Homo-oligomer: A and B are copies of this chain.
Amino acid sequence: MQKHNFSAGPCILPQSVLQKSAEAVLNFNNSNLSLIEISHRSKDFVEVMENARNLALEHLGLLNKGYQALYLQGGASLQFLMVAYNLLEKKAAYLNTGTWSNNAIKEAKLIGEVVEVATSKNENFNFIPKNYTVPSDADYFHCTSNNTIFGTQMQVFPDTEIPMVCDMSSDIFSRQLDFSKFDLIYAGAQKNMGPSGTTLVVVKENILEKVSRNIPSMLNYKVHINKESMFNTPSVFAVYVSMLTLQWLKDLGGIPKIEKANTTKAQLLYNEIDRNSLFEGFVPNKEDRSKMNATFNLKNETLKATFDEQLKQAGINGLNGHRSVGGYRASMYNALPLESVQILVDVMQHLEKQA
């Protein structure tokens, strides 16, 4: 049975990428060796790493603009710490839009002073704060572009005099932005980029080496830059699959093309959530709704068992909401076909007709 994979992450990847990845595990580049049993210093893998780094910069329009792309380990969670270690001298400014922002703030506080410029915590993070001021004497401003758990997404980013750092784990490569506004972007691969196990860091080199502390090697962006993202053995398989996914996106027409597809998918589902009498969206402000993760609830919880069974029958996977929100969450990442959203909408409409 064909599955419709709405998993929040790790999440759906293009079928052609999965096919090529499986082949490489058996026989990489016709070498009669597996991708995962060759040296990361071999010519073939060095080329993979270079391609993966270049493709990331190319998609973001940041090639040859003073930025470096790194594929590191440890997920966004390690970036919460690394950002502060590398950039926080006196104080840093954070926008708190949910669980991940909150965790980033927690780790930064171990390194220095943190100013929370705004938060949507009192409304269980169901909106994006606006009209906040970023202090110009902070070392950097940190925000989270998309909140996987609550289903909100930033549409506007402030103009700052200080470096802007953004956790784009769950919406990178999904929409056009002026990425040159950002000085450091990080993203765990396991949404729009690849499998878990690697984390993309795109950093403008001139913001580094301004803090006075000694930074441990593995936490030091400059160390990784100097070694072209091979200071230590990288997560070979995850980097390779990320490269294939970025190549797939390029062949498809890049971010402008995928953004259109993502908008169509999101409109289809949100229109149904708003139209269907049985459901309500978790995020009231339409402009704050995420195109990646649509969060919604059944108004009448007694229909839950029936709805869940019908989702299962339709082959729909990964629609449960996060425990801090409840209800449902449809994650519609780049590789999810429109057809899968249509099938979800069909199940929602079928439930309404029956009810």
Q: Which of A18, A103, A197 has the most CB of B within 10 A?
A: A197
| Number of residues on chain A facing chain B (CB within 8 A) | 63
Inter-subunit contact B232/A75 (CB<8 Å): yes
Instruction: Decide: A10 and B37 in contact? CB cutoff 8 A.
Output: yes
Q: In the complex, how many angstroms separate the beta carbon of A225 from the nearest chain B beta carbon?
A: 16
A68: Cβ under 8 A from any B Cβ: no
Q: Are B219 and A10 in contact (CB under 8 A)?
A: no
Q: Which residues of B contact A216 (CB under 8 A)?
A: 81, 107, 110
A214 nearest in chain B by CB position: B110
Contacting residues, chain B, for A135 (C-beta < 8 A): none
Q: Determine if A233 and B34 form an interchain contact, defined as CB atoms under 8 angstroms apart.
A: no
A19 to chain B: closest residue by CB? B26
Whole-angstrom CA separation of A108 from B33 in the bound complex: 37
**Which B residues lie within 8 Å of A80 (CB)?**
217-218
Residues of B within 8 A of A190 (CB): 233
> Are B10 and A38 in contact, CB atoms less than 8 angstroms apart?
yes
> Which residues does chain B contribute within 8 Å of A33, judged by CB atoms?
3, 5, 317
Binds B, one of A53-61, A86-94, A236-244, A259-267: A236-244
**A196 pairs with B234, CB closer than 8 A:** yes
Nearest-neighbor residue (CB-CB) of A169 within chain B: B233
Asked whether A77 and B232 contact (CB < 8 A) given A34-B18, A196-B40, the answer is yes
The answer to whether A66 has its CB under 8 Å from any CB of chain B is no
A21 B13 Cβ-Cβ under 8 A: no
Identical copies in the complex: 2
| Residues in B whose Cβ lies below 8 Å from that of A219 | 81
Assess whether B107 is in contact with A197, with CB atoms less than 8 Å apart: no
Contacts of A217 in B (CB 8 A): 77, 80-81, 103, 106-107
Bound form: Cα–Cα A110–B215 in Å: 8
Chain B residue numbers with a CB within 8 Å of A235 are 73, 196-197, 235, 238
CA distance A297 to B77 in the complex (A): 45
Q: Contacts A10-B37, A26-B19, A235-B238: A74 and B197 contacting too (C-beta < 8 A)?
A: no
A268 in contact (CB, < 8 A): no
Interface flags for A4-41 (1: CB within 8 Å of B; 0: not) read: 01011111110000110111011000011110111110
Do A37 and B5 form a contact, CB below 8 Å, given A197-B73, A233-B196, A237-B238? yes
- Check if A39 sits within 8 Å of B7, measured CB to CB: yes
CA A315 to CA B36, docked complex, whole Å: 18
A355 contacts partner chain B, Cβ-Cβ < 8 Å: no
Enumerate chain B residues within 8 angstroms of A236, measured Cβ to Cβ: 10, 195-197
Question: In the complex, which residues 67-87 of chain A have their Cβ closer than 8 Å to any Cβ of chain B?
Answer: 73-78, 80-81
**B3 and A31 contact, CB distance less than 8 A:** yes
Instruction: Say how far A312's CB is from chain B's closest CB, in angstroms.
Output: 13
A151 at the interface (CB under 8 A from B): no
- Is A188 positioned at the interface, with any CB of B under 8 Å from its CB? yes
Indicate if A354 sits at the interface (CB-CB under 8 A). no
The 3 closest A-B pairs by CB, nearest first: A197-B235, A36-B195, A73-B73
13 contacts between A and B (CB under 8 A): A3-B31, A3-B33, A10-B36, A10-B39, A13-B34, A13-B37, A18-B34, A81-B217, A107-B216, A107-B218, A196-B235, A196-B236, A196-B237
